[in-house]
Amino acid sequence: MADPLRTWVDGREVDVPSTIPAIREALPAERRADFDRAVNTAGVHEIHAVMRHWMLEAVPDPEADAIEDRLLREEAERRGAA
């Protein structure tokens, strides 16, 4: 069996779920139906990207979320000014 996947969150190393059941379990209950739908409708050429997306969503990263929120606000402001 391969070593578990890991990433860094808030300066500490954390495991990343890497199986469908583990990802599903790590997600908030309200996101599980979306995950199931994405996995069940992905074709063979898309499944890797779908899994990567949901693996990372299953690992909360408040700092990354704050950066994403800031970038989305800045983009909205930029588009509003255009």
Angle at 66 between CA 60 and CA 47, to 5 degrees: 45
Give the domain extent around 52. 5-81
Tracing tokens 């990343």 back to the chain, one arrives at 16
**Coil, strand or helix at 12:** strand
- pLDDT digit string (tens) for the chain, length 82 residues: 567 788 888 888 888 898 999 999 999 999 999 999 999 999 999 999 999 999 988 988 888 888 989 999 999 999 886 5
Tracing tokens 């190393």 back to the chain, one arrives at 13
Total-model pTM: 0.70
How many domains does one find in the chain? 1
